[in-house]
Amino acid sequence: MNGAEQTIETLVRRGVDTCFTNPGTSEMHFVAALDRQRAMRSVLALFEGVATGAADGFGRMTRRPATTLLHLGPGMANGLANLHNARRARTPVVNLVGEHATGHRRYDPPLTTDIEGLARPMSGWVATVTDSSQVAAFVDAAVDAALGPPATVATLVVPADVSWSAVPDQAVDRLVPADRANGGGHAGSARPSTTTGSAPPGRTTIGTRGAVLGGDADPPRSEVREVAVALTCGAPAAVLIGGRATTGDPLRRAAQIAERCHAKLLCETFPARLERGAGVPAVERLAYLAELARLQLAGLEHLVVVDCAVPVSFFAYPDLPSRVVPDGCQVHLLAGPADDAEAALEALAGELGVGTGSPVPTMAPTRPLRPSGPITAESLAAAVGAVLPEGAVVSDESNTGGLHIPGGTAGAPPHDWLTLTGGAIGQGLPVATGAGVAIAGTGRQVLCLEADGSAMYTIQALWTQARESLDVTTVILDNHAYGILGFELSRVRAGEPGPAARDMLDLSRPDLDFVALAGAMGVPATRAESADELVVQLERALHEPGPALVHVPMERSL
Amino acid sequence: MNGAEQTIETLVRRGVDTCFTNPGTSEMHFVAALDRQRAMRSVLALFEGVATGAADGFGRMTRRPATTLLHLGPGMANGLANLHNARRARTPVVNLVGEHATGHRRYDPPLTTDIEGLARPMSGWVATVTDSSQVAAFVDAAVDAALGPPATVATLVVPADVSWSAVPDQAVDRLVPADRANGGGHAGSARPSTTTGSAPPGRTTIGTRGAVLGGDADPPRSEVREVAVALTCGAPAAVLIGGRATTGDPLRRAAQIAERCHAKLLCETFPARLERGAGVPAVERLAYLAELARLQLAGLEHLVVVDCAVPVSFFAYPDLPSRVVPDGCQVHLLAGPADDAEAALEALAGELGVGTGSPVPTMAPTRPLRPSGPITAESLAAAVGAVLPEGAVVSDESNTGGLHIPGGTAGAPPHDWLTLTGGAIGQGLPVATGAGVAIAGTGRQVLCLEADGSAMYTIQALWTQARESLDVTTVILDNHAYGILGFELSRVRAGEPGPAARDMLDLSRPDLDFVALAGAMGVPATRAESADELVVQLERALHEPGPALVHVPMERSL
């Protein structure tokens, strides 16, 4: 058994059974190992940003890490933007990055780079394994780090000679059956499998934890009793949930607590995965625009924060504050990203005497009427709301064109909503791809709401969807522009934009033909010229197995 | 005048007049500034890897830096792979990367990353400017660093508040007309324009110089006399040129020296820009495969290295050495990347008594016959050789499918050949785009030879070619596979590949329709099913103004 084979073997033992990859020469032993360990499903991407975004989508749905297999520094670099989003989503991901053979690096061949340096800004854990006898220990440590808490992106650099060298028999013998990676991301059950039994492997470097654990303006964790007092003192209060508190039991408990205390229930602007729809507790998402978020928070005297950062403006603007929490509002951190949000909510419920059967306000089932006439932001939202199937997973990178869609789908059958957690565009199609792999065979459908400009960052994802016959329907909201930037340009007080500035936001010269793009990569596609056509095409795309794309030309946004 | 305006103003004063960009909110003041300084040509890309690769292609042709304008850490990350190639090519590039406003960063909003950390592995110079009064000084320092020697990638991070804040009148007054950036990359004429007159700006961090200046196995610089003795002692010798020594006068002088001394004239495997064709000194390129490179160097007792690294194997393989220079061969470094290669060659020529009129062997004009029949690697090479126009700029990322093209074009009218300097695929289309901007209006043509797998990394470049009406003809060499990896898989001794391994190298499930992809992005395209069709389609594509694409299906390489 060589190092590459033991890497795959160890991952499979830890329940990591899916690999999104674009390999190169230094990863050929991993590729060869795939034939000997068939429990690892390997999914090819035409670009590394697709692979890393797919790992994010997969991890958000399964709460288990997928692995990526990337080629040296440039392969890592191409995957970084979507790893940024994954890290902000606190998705568990294990990156395997090939490196030149140890003795070869000193000659500085052309592909040499500082891989750890590249990985560090987007990873919570980074290490290089330098000895094939240590492979299992390092892979275990990477999986542990990925699972957290907090869950994060773990990057393991594997030199080619470590991959191709035989693992000493002794090291193979020490491989004992380990617990499978658990879904909850808690340390207890995920940590016992380090085979060496010693301290964490050496040469490990850790990324800047601070960056994903909230800004330096965030408060320390509050006592449960203090939070209970704040919520019951009669002053206006809100509970703000994020992270793992936006689905399942934690979501329900948070809603019960808010209901009992007459507090507002809010969720972070860009949740990794929000459960919503008919019968699900109704949550108000904080707005992207700081002006609107300030309105949502106006008048509050207490804000209880559960598993997310204290909200701030997405960008700064001349003469406007970064903070959106009102002056004088006290912020109470019930659980940070490294804490067990579910346990913290249980403790708070206990303190407040909120039983599991306590009333919880949920969304009433309601669907918009099937729209007719021209396609507008409103009729588009109605169309999506009218057809969204139960159990759908929505990968939402619709940006300005999709403004009304959350409203149009609020009462649709229950579904999951995956958002642009880190703000790095080009996430939607890859995350939909990984979610499609995660839900394959369950009867669930992925709906990807994708803006034209963002789509073109990682359009190659469509090919992987075709190759894997994934049940992903992509809707391209095509306003022929970087619509959000037209809006932002007016907000940064840079003066009235002239032709040169407008030209940099314009995607209509030439217009992009998304039907042709999809067809070229094996995804059947249609164009909807009216709301009536859109509904029919969406229903058909969702109904038929395999991927499909619907191109929706909208009014030019510039 | 605000910081963004002064940035653009200073760049234009330094002769940096072309910006390849994909901007975001934090760069909106730069976008607005484009309306007020029309001397800066701004070219929009749909993905940052296109923008950085285009800056590389532009810089290789003009020897002047273009600037890129990138959005925060994720925008920088998306551009890194082609910056790696640019750095290896020693192309001058100035990156401007927007950052959150200084006061906003502490709140850790979602797009926050360690931008300098991301930039450092692929940059020779990195700095953040924190005060709008210092903008001109930092931009000057960035341009100086980019020009070198050695020329490199310089990255300047500009927080949004520095962009939007007014530059104090005093700082504007100090702006004096500066020398324009010079083409030669020498320090003398490029350095006088720092407006502060003080030491280099603070907060500057410098990338690892070692990585582009050769491995630790490289020798120190040799004396000219020692090199002359080595070349005239009668033992088998070769002159290996790279960097700036592969075009113009340095190339001619190197050829004259080699001819006089009966030495072999070689050039590095992946030159940034190689002048070649009829009437140009004939140079033998070192092979990519170490086995072949060893054959080319076998028997040598002296190797004189001019402006490049001592050659080594591109990758390492089990039980094979990294070095390709024979044991016992003495390596003499005449000029390293930071030296003036032209002056060093002149000095050597003087020492050897080689006058400027000394005989120089050049390629005889010869063209292959127009091929007929099925498309093979050989008939494809003949087709390109038969039609290549004089002055063509060839962006070559043809990989395995293009193996015979250098031979087929060796005697074609003189042309420039741009290669994959850093080995990070996805370079060809962006470099062709930037070269197309550089040669616009000169009557020259760009021919991009692009492998199918590499094309899909940065296929978005076609849209920019259409938008800018660039004279770029792309030929897609489509062998429906990562052909090079099929080859490498057999070389790494990983055993006979099974179906899972082969599947990871296969691009035929589904086949990609490059004609549809090009058309979808506004580039007219055709498919050549025979060598006869290929010649006709290539001639037409090269003749008609604006971009075009010819899809060439080849035999499946797996």
Q: Are B483 and B399 in contact (CB under 8 A)?
A: yes
Burial B302-337 (b: 16+ CB within 10 A, else e): bbbbbbbbbbbbbbbbeebebbbbeeebbbbbbbbb
Mean pLDDT of B349-369: 97
Q: Are B133 and B188 in contact (CB under 8 A)?
A: no
Domains and CATH numbers, chain B: 3-212 (3.40.50.970), 224-352 (3.40.50.1220), 377-553 (3.40.50.970)
Q: What is the pLDDT of residues B300-331, one digit of tens each?
A: 999 999 999 999 999 999 888 999 999 999 99
| B459: phi then psi, degrees, rounded to nearest 5 | -60, -20
Mean pLDDT of B368-394: 98
Beta strands across the sheet bearing A125-128: A41-44, A18-22, A66-71, A93-99, A153-159, A125-128, A204-205
Residues of B whose CB is below 8 A from A73:
84, 121
Using alpha carbons only, what angle is made at residue A346 by residues A343 and A349, rounded to the nearest 5 degrees?
155
Give yes or no for B457 touching A (CB within 8 A): yes
| B151: phi then psi, degrees, rounded to nearest 5 | -60, 150
The DSSP H or E segment spanning A516 is helix A514-520
ipTM of the complex: 0.93
Rounded Cα distance between A266 and A306, Å, is 10
Strand A41-44 versus strand A18-22 pairing type: parallel
Q: Which among A121, A214, A424 is the nearest to B117, CB-wise?
A: A121
What is A338-395 written as a DSSP string? TS-HHHHHHHHHHHHT--TTS---BBPP--PPPP-SS--HHHHHHHHHHHPPTT-EEE
Mean pLDDT of B487-505: 84
Q: Which among A49, A74, A100 is the nearest to B84, CB-wise?
A: A74
Q: How many CB atoms sit inside 10 A of residue A215's CB?
A: 18
Rounded Cα distance between A188 and A149, Å, is 10
Give the residues across from A446 on adjacent strands.
A393, A472
Between the alpha carbon of residue B144 and those of residues A207, B54, B244, B377, B482, the distances in Å are: 32, 20, 18, 44, 40
What's the pLDDT at B214? 45
Q: Which among A38, A110, A316 is the nearest to B422, CB-wise?
A: A110
Q: Say if residue B539's pLDDT is above 70.
A: yes
Written as six digits, the tokens of A255 are 């809603």
Rounded Cα distance between A156 and B392, Å, is 44
Q: Say if residue B394's pLDDT is above 90.
A: yes
Torsion of CA B366, B370, B375, B380, to 10 degrees: 30
Give yes or no for B315 touching A (CB within 8 A): yes
Written as six digits, the tokens of B502 are 């082969």
Between the alpha carbon of residue B262 and those of residues B256, B267, B353, B524, the distances in Å are: 10, 16, 14, 49
SS3 A266: strand
Q: Say if residue B406's pLDDT is above 50.
A: yes
Using alpha carbons only, what angle is made at residue B285 by residues B280 and B289, rounded to the nearest 5 degrees?
165
Contact B32 A494 (CB under 8 A): yes
The residue among A30, A24, A60, A23 whose CA lies nearest residue A44 is A23
Residues of A whose CB is below 8 A from B494:
28-29, 31-32, 164
Of all residues in chain B, the one with the smallest CA distance to A45 is B504
Contacts of A350 (CB under 8 A, 6+ apart): none
Contact B108 A514 (CB under 8 A): no
Give the residues across from B362 on adjacent strands.
B281
| A490: phi then psi, degrees, rounded to nearest 5 | -75, -20
Between the alpha carbon of residue A410 and those of residues A388, A415, A521, B12, B458, the distances in Å are: 11, 10, 33, 52, 37
Contact B216 A106 (CB under 8 A): yes
Contact A117 B113 (CB under 8 A): no
Residues of B whose CB is below 8 A from A527:
none
| CB interface of B with A, residues 372-411, below 8 Å | none
Q: Which among A118, A423, A516 is the nearest to B516, CB-wise?
A: A516
pLDDT band at residue B175 using 50, 70 and 90 as cut-offs: low
Q: Which among B42, B47, B466 is the nearest to A510, CB-wise?
A: B466
SS3 A96: strand
Contacts of B244 (CB under 8 A, 6+ apart): B185, B250, B307, B341, B342
Amino acid at A246: T
Of all residues in chain A, the one with the smallest CA distance to B269 is A110
Between the alpha carbon of residue A344 and those of residues A269, A282, A484, the distances in Å are: 22, 20, 37
Rounded Cα distance between B453 and B477, Å, is 9
Q: Which among B25, B122, B456 is the nearest to A485, CB-wise?
A: B25
B150 prior amide bond cis, ω within 30: yes
| CB interface of B with A, residues 246-275, below 8 Å | 270
Residue whose structure tokens are 């001592």 = B310
What pLDDT tens digit does each residue of chain A (558 aa) get?
999 999 999 999 999 999 999 999 889 999 999 888 889 999 999 999 999 999 999 999 999 999 999 999 999 999 999 999 999 999 999 999 999 999 999 999 999 999 999 999 999 999 999 999 999 999 999 999 999 999 999 999 999 999 999 999 877 666 544 443 333 333 333 232 222 223 344 444 444 333 333 455 578 899 999 999 999 999 999 999 999 999 999 999 999 999 999 999 999 999 999 999 999 999 999 999 999 999 999 999 999 999 999 999 999 998 889 999 999 999 999 999 889 999 999 999 999 999 999 999 999 999 999 999 999 999 999 999 999 999 999 999 999 899 999 999 999 999 999 999 999 999 999 999 999 999 999 999 999 999 999 999 999 999 999 999 999 999 999 999 998 888 888 887 777 788 889 999 999 999 999 999 999 999 999 999 999 999 999 999 999 999 999 999 999 877
Strand B415-418 versus strand B274-276 pairing type: antiparallel
Q: What is the pTM of this model?
A: 0.94
The DSSP H or E segment spanning B436 is helix B428-439
Rounded Cα distance between B154 and B95, Å, is 6
SS3 per residue for B95-147? EEEEECCCCCHHHCCCCCCCHHHHHHHHCCEEEECCCHHHHHHHHHHHHHHHH
- Size of the A and B interface in Cβ pairs below 8 Å: 335
What's the pLDDT at B486? 87
Q: What is the pLDDT of residues B1-35, one digit of tens each?
A: 999 999 999 999 999 999 999 999 889 999 999 88
SS3 A204: strand
| A496: phi then psi, degrees, rounded to nearest 5 | -65, 125
Amino acid at B28: M
Contact A494 B29 (CB under 8 A): yes
Strand A330-335 versus strand A302-306 pairing type: parallel
pLDDT band at residue B484 using 50, 70 and 90 as cut-offs: confident
% of residues, chain B, pLDDT over 90? 84
The residue among B134, B130, B126, B178 whose CA lies nearest residue B152 is B126
**Mean pLDDT of chain B, nearest integer:** 91
How close, in Å, is residue A322 to chain B by CA atoms? 6
